[in-house]
Structure 1
Amino acid sequence: MRIGIDLGGTKTEAMLMAPDGSKVARLRVPTPSGNYQANLDMLVDLVTHMDKTAGCRCPVGIAMPGAVSATTGLVKNANSTWLIGQPLPLDLQKRLGHRVRFANDADCFALSEAHDGAGARHQTVFGVILGTGVGGGLVVNTRLVSGPNAITGEWGHTPLPWMTRDEYPGPLCYCGKHGCIETWCSGPALAADHTRITSTTLSPEQIVEQAGAGNTDALATLNRHTSRLARALAMVINILDPHIIVLGGGLSELEHLYPAIAADLPQHVFSDTVETQVVKNTHGASSGIRGAAWLWPADAVAD
């Protein structure tokens, strides 16, 4: 059995997973925001609890915000800012041994969906998170792809392709650049775009509701968002040519996205046909924690 942990900014969840991918036990606790040492204690407590449930020491995978620098071993790029600059892998290794693996939460989402989710039986899977932020992960033959900079799939921090005159230079991103895909395609970006154009503040859910009722401003907002998302995904297809793209995060629940993206992609993909499917995820909010557990192979044994 394996332990998967989804380390979030407000909550952290652990799951004991059977070899066939089924859930044996699950536990969710509040994340002690702003306190690195308390985060360490929480993670150790969760692993200890799951070990007792399993009756043995299990390998542990952790889905985390940001990534671990291959150069320094320190956490970087995390929106849970109290983790940045901390030696999380080393500190947990001291307390749990060499049985802990880490990956970005979007990578874990992609890995879960590639193993036995919407991307199963596809050779290359690009997993997309569309939520508070925009992230991604790449899986080839059910193996997570990780490069020397530990940023594979960070398409959210590339510029929106084929910007129109009205879009340039784009909103300011927290990374310091203008026009990142995250500032156009995330949930907050969808709401901000509606406010910018209409001077009306609505949540993404309210925008969708009003669009369904025929509100022309809301419909126009969704059309702009879909166009931008299609352009951004076309860039991914032009570079990686994945067999399937799986959408996750809160915005993946918007059913209008899928036919609209399929209709827009051919305008931007450098091919006479677009065979890449863009589909909704299978495991929903469980994908991150399941993908964390899948970081270990089937024959993994904890030290």
Structure 2
Amino acid sequence: MRIGIDLGGTKTEILCLSPDGQEVLRKRIPSPQGNYSATVTAIRDLVLSAEQETGHKGTVGIGIPGSISKHTRRVKNANSTWLIDHPLQDDLSQALERDVRMANDANCFALSEATDGAAQEGQSVFGVILGTGVGGGLVVEKQILNGLNGVAGEWGHNPLPWALEGEQPGQPCYCGQSGCIETFLSGPALARTFENICGTKIDSKEIPNLPDDITDPVFLIYENRLARALASVINLFDPDVIVLGGGVSNVDRWYQTVPDLWTRWVFGKECDTKLVKAKHGDSSGVRGAAWLWPATS
């Protein structure tokens, strides 16, 4: 059995897969907020409970909102900041008494969609999470491309390209910079744009349910920014498929308007890259975490 864990900022999900990839068990719990030791305990208890319930011991793969430094073996670049500078992979391996594989949650998302999801026909895939933060993951021939420094695909912490008047220097980002793509394209950023345009505070999840005459001026701004940001990825990586996940990905118009827009900035003005919505929705990350172990394990 393969076990996947998706450690998110607000929820933690576990998924157990049979050797042939069929779902055996799935559960979600609220993520401990601001408490590292409680996070380790919660994940340990989730795994042991799942194994007791299924009657099988499994390999464990975990997607986290950050990455593991190869120099210190500690978490870095996590927007769940209470994880930063802790040896999460080692602590969980000790708590579970087995090797644990760990990868950035956006990489897990991209791996899931490239393996058996919306991007499975692509040889090169860029997976994008548009949620509380903005993540990106690169997959080539069904393998995660981590990069030498473990930051491959972290497009969310580059500046928004081809900035327009009023977009610089931009909002401060938790990473220490200002004007990062994340500060323009995350769920909270969409809500901030809505408040600036409409004068009302609202959760980003509620915005797509509003009438078109209200959302249109907000979406025109957002999709222009998304198109510019993705055009810079195409110019660098030129993927076969870009797949979107996260709460903000559930706006259907993005899949038509953004490809129509991004050719303005793609070098050569030609672009056959497909933009698709994640097949497995917000469970894609946990599936990718399970896929960190080969099917034969």
Class of the TM-score when normalised by the shorter of the 2 chains: over 0.9
- Amino acid aligned to 1:151: V
Which residue matches 1:204?
Answer: 204
- After alignment, is 174-183 or 90-99 more displaced? 90-99
Which residue matches 1:286?
Answer: 283
The CA deviation at 1:110 is 0.6
- After alignment, is 109-118 or 57-66 more displaced? 57-66
TM-score (norm 2): 0.94
Q: Does residue 178 of structure 1 match 2:178?
A: yes
Which residue matches 1:115?
Answer: 115
Query: Structure 1, residues 212-257: CA drift from partner, whole Å, max 9, x if none?
Result: 1x23xx3222101100000000000000000000000011110111
Which residue matches 1:8?
Answer: 8
SS in 2 for 1:38: helix
- Amino acid aligned to 1:140: V
Query: Structure 1, residues 77-120: CA drift from partner, whole Å, max 9, x if none?
Result: 22222221111111122232343100111111111101100011
The CA deviation at 1:9 is 2.7
SS in 1 for 2:263: helix
Q: Distance in 1 between matches of 2:35 and 2:250?
A: 33
The CA deviation at 1:166 is 2.7
- After alignment, is 16-25 or 151-160 more displaced? 16-25
Which residue matches 1:234?
Answer: 231
Q: Distance in 2 between matches of 1:179 and 1:80?
A: 20
Q: Distance in 1 between matches of 2:126 and 2:239?
A: 6
Alpha carbons of structure 1 residues 20 and 209: separation in structure 2 relative to 1, 3 Å: same
SS in 2 for 1:171: coil
Which residue matches 1:253?
Answer: 250
Which residue matches 1:19?
Answer: 19
Paired residues of 2:205 and 2:247 also in contact (CA < 8 A): no
Paired residues of 2:79 and 2:133 also in contact (CA < 8 A): no
CA RMSD of aligned residues (A): 1.7
Q: Distance in 2 between matches of 1:9 and 1:133?
A: 9
Paired residues of 2:73 and 2:87 also in contact (CA < 8 A): yes
Q: Does residue 223 of structure 1 match 2:250?
A: no
Paired residues of 2:32 and 2:39 also in contact (CA < 8 A): yes
Which residue matches 2:241?
Answer: 244
Q: Does residue 138 of structure 1 match 2:111?
A: no
Q: Does residue 71 of structure 1 match 2:71?
A: yes
Q: Distance in 1 between matches of 2:178 and 2:79?
A: 18
The runs of at least 4 aligned residues of structure 1 exceeding 6 Å deviation read none
Alpha carbons of structure 1 residues 21 and 219: separation in structure 2 relative to 1, 3 Å: same
Q: Which runs of 5+ in 2 are unaligned?
A: none
SS in 1 for 2:40: helix
Q: Distance in 2 between matches of 1:220 and 1:169?
A: 22
Paired residues of 1:70 and 1:148 also in contact (CA < 8 A): no
- Amino acid aligned to 1:260: T
Aligned-residue sequence identity (percent) comes to 52
Q: Distance in 1 between matches of 2:144 and 2:54?
A: 26
Q: Distance in 2 between matches of 1:170 and 1:268?
A: 21
Q: Which runs of 5+ in 1 are unaligned?
A: none
Paired residues of 1:5 and 1:63 also in contact (CA < 8 A): yes
